[in-house]
Structure 1
Amino acid sequence: MVSALAGVMTSVIGKLTTLLGEEYSKLKGVHREVEFMKDELSSMNALLQRLAEVDRDLDVQTKEWRDQVREMSYDIEDCIDDFMKSLGQTDIAKRAGLVQSVIQQLKALRMRHQISSQIQGLKARVEDASKRRMRYKLDERTFECGISRAIDPRLPSLYAEPDGLVGIDKPRDELIKCLMGGVGASVQQQKVISIVGPGGLGKTTLANEVYRKLEGQFQCRAFVSLSQQPDVKKILRSILSQVSQQEYANIDVWDEEKLINAIREFLKNKRYFVIIDDIWSNQAWKIIKCALFPNDVGSKIMTTTCSITIAKLCCSPQHDHVYEIMPLTEANSKSLFLKRIFGSGDMCPPKLEEVSSEILKKCGGSPLAIITVASLLANKASTNEEWERVYNSIGSTLEKDPGVEEMRKTLSLGGLSIFPED
């Protein structure tokens, strides 16, 4: 809703700008009000753009303010349209007969007087909305909410210590073999491999381990993570910055085309390795792909996604380069679970063997679920009663725990339905 409202506001601001143009510069009594509304609405629109990023987390007061701004924007747009229409009728009247011209001009003057009064009223509403924005401190709320959501849950995966990872050697080595394998000229061809699987199975961690192992074999490299609504220009800026290791003047104002051309030019003759993590849409990939120059010097691209359709698109036409990540085996699940709690992957008190096995069944081989529950148990007494209580709470009361809530969000984004009930 906030995104749609921002679009309406942009339209209204554009029309207000038109009213401030040379064609309407001689309008008396409304020019100052129009200028005031344009400036205030531009400021509100900037806040609406920020609200769009945290739309689902808005509190009641912010939602009420947003809704009032929406209605006000519609009224302003209607008023502007009526005003411009009345000015057009005045021009027609000048070309009509004398009597008809006088009648039309009187009607137009009366309408313009009414619209002028409406603009005065709308100005007052804009002023009131601005005051409420300050009174409720909406900018501060948005910033605080944005900070809480700006923490990317994938970030720890990029800094996971290799010694703490379990069951990653086999898939990592398989991916490296697929990426770097080949004979003759095929070794030098650009290759794209896509890791696919639901959230929580460790796609980012796996991709990062491959990146660590191979980064020294390429002239330049980049690792970028997307989101459900990615800022493509920001992603392109990050790719250019990482591969070139340079700073560019005024890069923040470059459009997508300029960024894509700059990346292509830099990568043209270089052996590069780029990982695009967590792709959510075909369109995002299509734009980013334009920047990755298809040279024949052994460049490699890896993507990760929850969608098999997107995975196939990324490595089209070689669909055999889709790598489906699998849940941890029973042995690896147990090793990860025990290592997180007791510091060793093979040390479990006999009295906890049975309940730990039941807990791991509920985790379904998801590293994220295993680590989250294990971290919770590490801070509790190692008794059968305490672990039974945690086991019985999985899927219900445990969601009050911040770590478990973060896990639930991640799993639900990536296709929770593949896991067993609870």
Structure 2
Amino acid sequence: MAETVVNFVLGKLGDMIVKEAQSLGQVGDKVKWVETELTRIKCYLTDADSKRRKGDARAENWLNELRDVAYRIEDATDTFYVEIEDNRQGVEGSSHKHRGFLAKLKRFGHKTTKLPALCKLGTELDDIKKVLEGISKSKVDYDIDPLQERGKGETVLMPLRRATYQDVDETEIVGFDADKNNVCKLLRDTETPRRAVLTIVGPGGLGKTTLAHMVYKSVQADFSFHIMLPVSQQYNPINLLRKMLTKLKGSEPSTQEIGDLISELKDLLSSERYLIILDDVWVIDLWNQYLKHALRA
């Protein structure tokens, strides 16, 4: 039910506003707008679901659109935490080698490491705002009324919470051990000298990001090169390849040509054992058009 997902996402947005109140800046206003608009739309869910149960296709479509954008909001918040954690670890690693400015970054709470992630989150929230505005307006066309009385005996099940990189504590996670161990076993299979591709698939909210991060933490030491990057629904292949190379090499590539980036990535990894985890991948074209050539065995 869409109400379950909306309640879950509203909780995540509220947590973000509390935890990141001092660092979100203008992006915080966008987070609050999304939270407020979702709260308003939530008032219409009971009537929309009642109409859906009676076979109203328009109401069902409206609920599906709302559910999809709620998952998109969840993915945007998770990606934000993934990126600031990744950047934070990068600064910590660098500060051991370079004192001075980078060390100061650590003392100041790594505020500057959040800037790219904040920009990305702000851009995604701008797009989400447009979708939510469209959903809000369409309720009039679909004749969906607010605050209808909920039917007696109806219950709402709360979903499994999808943890972010920032708050993952493996001692508190239940139900992932078997899956984590299975994936780790496959990744550690040294009898497979060729390139191997593993996928974790499923609907939003299952904990795919959490599982991937647990696997990454467990096996990264077994590989000469290892990175974990978020991709998201709208990605730029050139920027993604440049980011991969930057994190793998420790320096930015000089080229902007996609062919050169693919060649450089292939040359870097061709004789090494490496692990690349890409989180939040929406389309197979990312692999077919770009990565399978760069990561060719």
Q: Same fold (TM over 0.5)?
A: no
Max radius of gyration: which structure?
A: 1
**Relative to total residues, which structure has the larger helix share, 1 or 2?**
1
